[in-house]
Structure 1
């Protein structure tokens, strides 16, 4: 009741005689029964009892120095009880609780060995705050020279756990009306809020962020996804027939794994969510027919889809309700698995749909998906994971230009908060910068930014405004040839300053401007501009004179119609060449009017 240490009942009275935390005015002579009574009273007064569920949870922990520390520190046990109060109803969270306890146990072990601090209640005293900082840095592998952590996430997690432990001790102090302990925990909270970020969190977050710099995209390729789909379909069919003929744990496990992987890939669902699907959820799935009034707002194809797929609601992340769609062959496979559970050794008390035989756990979807991704023959099997598949569908859905309500539906099905969906599942940042921001930069370099007034980044088309490929772009006419040549020469000179480019050759190529009446051009070298003949100019001006006069840009469709109508005069010109010609003439005419 003084040091809050954990001792065997029969040895508690011996420790009490020499307890260093024992106050001086406490009685010296106390019998064994009296000591046990005081300890029991202190336990019930200062904190809640440690439940049998917590001891059972700790009983399967690996027996080593860390587990010994965890089981013998009262503050850690109270932390375990707090976790159990929240997540005790979900056995799948027990491993998470054990991991959190082992993290804080490693910290206490370091405090004991290197700083002579033997309990977490002592560690959260304000006088030992900097020792606690040093212990967290050592456990997390902090390098003082580079200011980086080997395990930055561990440093952040330890901070949250220590704050939680301080709150537990503070509540205990309030209940026991221990003013000194109340003041101590309040002071620690102030130190934590003002100094922890400076000394621990900031460096840890910087280490985490730097690890993501220049990280390549891991989106799966469509061909690999199709390859995985086909492989899973064949494997599931073979496993279905095998279990139908012979009920054994091996055939049962094969069908469970293939069906589990198929559901994850088809629904783009988190692997853990599907793995924890309950048998009760599948049996109580929504099998009602489509409501007649609702059917009026759907197309005939959408109505068929509603009758084709079954819908199962499961618990997703943060308790959010999410849906899983099942095709008829998936339902048949799951129905067969349910009917053969007892024959294949699955216990009646196991409530998981994808249950393991002879135990209370379930098969892990990520393990099944990883194995089949390696076997299906995909070029990049490491990208075929549930997280990458979810990001794949969320990212590519942007190409469809979905409306806000449609985007909400996609995010809701994936189990995303819409803000998370927009922040983390948009097109990759590198792709956005290459495809969109570069258009703006090139437009500024070309000097045609005023022509883009009123347009968004999505509205700007590179082929509309900017000639990216000089080999495909048409040559300028006589009126703006001089300006284009000077601009090209300037850019090439600048480029040569940082690379081994033959500047003179490029300048001569850019300066090759032919008169418009030239009709014979021969076979131009790649990268050499092809001059426009008088007949070609006349043919284009016949269709786009008003566009050029008004400074309006031509569309690809209009240019293709012009090319078809003026064949064979424009046979050697592409629709893109015609668009560039109209744009160049419009810019040239605009410059002339401004000079006047």
Structure 2
């Protein structure tokens, strides 16, 4: 896990807090075997852990000592947790952060209960169960509903700008020409190679109408194992109704 300039020290918090570590291991386990895990998914888990670490740092700002996250998963600290989450997402204007933290906190409370059950720690298990009960009863009214409303209002007032066809055609022309020029060099330097890969990612994203981060996750094996159009059990009537260009695309 890398440190960030905006929130230094979160890596250490994640490493030292048992509940945050268990939270991360739980979500990594959901990704399947290591060889099947994508870098993007692993980064998402790290982001979730950092969000909890930020919350913990903020919660400890209200205390005389630094406590682990499990200390705040109890009925007595529920109002403080809800208040802190609300303040955090309102300060940066991100309702999604409040919604996400709600999901993470609910999962953390269940993990604490599970851990205490294994250790036969009845007192701490009761704390986690009471926190979960209060979460189910009050979190929506105190945090989630407010965050969802803010998110909807923000989306209503946000302009949705789509690129014009002329811009897309110009971009395609530039990418094709630039790729052809750069590919003529049989031994590119490292910066030139990186530039070529960026051009190719942009070209694939433009062709497939995909998000850039989806294309960047493609592996060579994904391309090699792709299903070709001519390998599909294509309906003859549908195939015959296609234009020549569409038939050519189907065979790719």
CA distance in 2, matches of 1:155, 1:271: 26
Q: Is 1:132 paired with 2:75?
A: no
RMSD between superposed Cα atoms in Å = 2.8
Deviation of 1:74 after TM superposition, in Å, equals 1.1
Structure 2 unpaired stretches of 5+: none
Task: Tell me: higher relative CO, structure 1 or 2? Use CA pairs within 8 A at least 6 residues apart.
Answer: 2
How many residues are treated as equivalent by the alignment? 245
Q: Distance in 2 between matches of 1:289 and 1:82?
A: 41
Distance 1:238 1:159, change over 3 A: same
Larger Rg belongs to: 1
State the Cα distance separating 1:126 from its structure 2 match: 0.5
CA deviation after TM superposition for structure 1 residue 195, in Å: 0.7
Which of 201, 206, 221 does residue 164 from structure 2 map onto?
A: 221
Partner of 1:114: 62
Change in Cα spacing, 1:85 to 1:308, as seen in structure 2 (3 Å) is closer
The structure-2 alpha-carbon separation of the partners of 1:308 and 1:96, relative to structure 1 and needing over 3 Å to count, comes to closer
Deviation at 1:85, TM superposition (A): 1.4
**1:168 to 1:293, Cα distance in 2 relative to 1, 3 A:** closer
Which of 113, 123, 136 lines up with 1:170 in the alignment?
113
Q: How far does residue 236 in structure 1 lie from its aligned partner after superposition?
A: 1.8
1:212 counterpart SS class: helix
TM-score computed with the length of structure 2 as normaliser? 0.84
Cα pair 1:286 1:310 within 8 Å, conserved: no
Distance in 2, matches of 1:306 and 1:202, equals 49
Instruction: Give, in whole Å, the separation in 2 of the partners of 1:124 and 1:293.
Output: 56
Uncovered stretches (5+) of structure 1, i.e. residues with no partner: 1-57, 143-148, 312-596
Tell whether 2:103 aligns with 1:160. Answer: yes
SS for the counterpart of 1:79 is helix
CA distance in 1, matches of 2:232, 2:127: 63
Counterparts of 1:43-442 in structure 2 under 5 Å? 58=1, 60-62=2-4, 64-87=8-31, 88=34, 89-116=37-64, 118-141=67-90, 150-242=93-185, 244=186, 246-286=187-227, 289=230, 294-295=235-236, 297-299=238-240, 302=243, 305-307=246-248, 310-311=251-252
Deviations 1:537-562 (A, max 9, x none): xxxxxxxxxxxxxxxxxxxxxxxxxx
Conserved 8 A contact 2:229-2:251? no
Distance 2:232 2:135 in 1: 57
Question: For 1:241, what is the secondary structure of its paired residue?
Answer: coil
**Is residue 230–residue 251 contact of structure 2 (8 Å, CA) maintained in 1?**
no
Partner Cα distance (1:73, 1:154) in 2:
21
The 1:136/1:304 distance shift into structure 2, 3 A limit, reads closer
Partner of 1:386: none
> Deviation digits for residues 480-514 of structure 1, max 9, x if unmatched?
xxxxxxxxxxxxxxxxxxxxxxxxxxxxxxxxxxx
Residues 117-137 of structure 1: CA distance to partner in whole angstroms, max 9, x if unpaired?
A: 612111011111112222223
**How far is the alpha carbon of 1:289 from its aligned partner?**
4.5
- Secondary structure, aligned partner of 1:140: helix
Deviation at 1:160, TM superposition (A): 1.2
1:5 corresponds to: none
* Structure 2 CA distance for partners of 1:308 and 1:188, relative to 1, 3 Å: closer
- The CA distance in 2 between the partners of 1:308 and 1:94, in whole Å, is 34
Counterparts of 2:77 and 2:24, CA distance in 1: 24
Deviations 1:207-253 (Å, cap 9, x if unpaired)? 211212333231221111112122222112212223x4x34324433
